[in-house]
Amino acid sequence: MRSVEGTGGGRGPGGQPTLDEVARLAGVSRATASRAINGGNRVSAAARRAVDDAVRTLGYSPNPAARSLVTRRTDSVAVVIPEPDERVFADPFFARTLSGVNRVLDERDLQLVLLLARPGQEEARMLRYLRNRHIDGAIVVSHHRADSLADHLAALDLPCAFIGRPWTSAERVPYVDTDNLAGGRAAAEVLLERGCRRIGTVAGPADMTAGTDRLEGWRAALTDAGLGTDAVVHGDFTESGGEQAAVELLDAHPDLDGLVVASDLMAAGALRTLAARGRRVPDDVKVVGYDDLGVAEHTDPPLTTVRNPIVEMSEHATRLLIEQIEGERGIQPMRVVFPPTLVRRASA
């Protein structure tokens, strides 16, 4: 295989040492030096040591394009978020996710590639990008029932890890999640302990597993307490969506004395609706949110919430992905579930 390094015997651009110089100093052929540097096979241990010594002596930096031709690696990982741009850049959930992923990639000198895709043409373009292997693997977050990303990635046999339980192919792809059902139950139980008896919820989107699992936990707690579970309106995990959902909920159920909201952003919107209706928190209505990603401390009053350990989840998912890329673990199902933690503040 021909390398894209310079072929001349002298110094490269800017006086940089060339692959030919490394090969001469190591006493091996240029092809052997290229394979040793770029991680190829068919290189003896002695030749690899000689090349490594020559690289250190000369201060040689390999051409990444040549390396990728040998290893078929891009040294980049995609974070796939099938959400509109405006939501990704407004929600602290995504900032924390990217921070956790990038922290682990930095340790391995790997590049993060962000792929955002709305349903339709953007989604088709993103799938084409993944199919053409422009990246070594993918981490998927905030997926929806209709995007079928787990099915697509399993079919491509592309190293992947999901943050959040996928709707389909959960038995075929690895994922990291928090126990959203237990978290939804814990949020409702706080209000039951505080004496609330007419408890509603602003649930998450019905096409996301986090939304349905948190709703199911809320419903289970109220059913066990012998209370009704009819006061439900779905939101979209945004602040404006929470505000509008709370309007609908209070219009239909003005007697609510407790409210579980499936994200802190939506809870911030719900608090505005309650204030506009003259409902004091926590005196008239007690409120519990979900996430604890920086919003809950700054609402008025500060939110009691369920902590979503998204940084830890993101780091763990990234390590699972790297194990696949480096051949330590094939693409096989693995489920890692973090327990939820209740954080008590003034709203309940």
Task: Give the span between the Cα atoms of 183 and 167, in whole angstroms.
Answer: 19
Task: Give the span between the Cα atoms of 273 and 203, in whole angstroms.
Answer: 16
List C-alpha distances in Å: 341 to 79, 179, 184, 314. 26, 10, 11, 17
Task: Name the token pair of 59.
Answer: 């201060």
Work out whether the CA dihedral 288, 290, 295, 296 comes out positive or negative: positive
Confidence of residue 7 (pLDDT cuts 50, 70, 90): very low
The predicted model gives 179-200 an average pLDDT of: 98
For residue 41, the model assigns a pLDDT of 58
For residue 327, the model assigns a pLDDT of 78
Domains with residue ranges and CATH for the chain = 13-71 (1.10.260.40), 76-178+311-339 (3.40.50.2300), 180-308 (3.40.50.2300)
Least confident of 152-166, 171-185, 197-211, 234-248: 152-166
Average predicted confidence (pLDDT) for the chain: 88
16-53: pLDDT as tens digits:
788 889 999 999 988 788 778 766 657 888 888 899 89
Task: Give the span between the Cα atoms of 209 and 143, in whole angstroms.
Answer: 9
Asked if pLDDT for residue 138 goes beyond 90, the answer is: yes
DSSP string, 142-166: S--GGG-HHHHHHHHT--EEEES--
Asked if pLDDT for residue 262 goes beyond 60, the answer is: yes
Asked if pLDDT for residue 72 goes beyond 70, the answer is: no
How many Cβ atoms sit within 10 Å of the Cβ of residue 8?
9
Of 178 and 127, more confident: 178
Least confident of 127-136, 210-219, 284-293: 127-136
Asked if pLDDT for residue 71 goes beyond 80, the answer is: no
Asked if pLDDT for residue 315 goes beyond 60, the answer is: yes
Confidence of residue 63 (pLDDT cuts 50, 70, 90): low
Kindly give, in sequence order, each residue whose CB lies less than 8 Å from that of residue 31, ignoring residues fewer than 6 positions away.
1
Asked if pLDDT for residue 3 goes beyond 50, the answer is: no
φ and ψ at residue 142, rounded to 5 degrees: 60, 45
The predicted model gives 205-233 an average pLDDT of: 97
Confidence of residue 1 (pLDDT cuts 50, 70, 90): very low
Of 3 and 237, more confident: 237
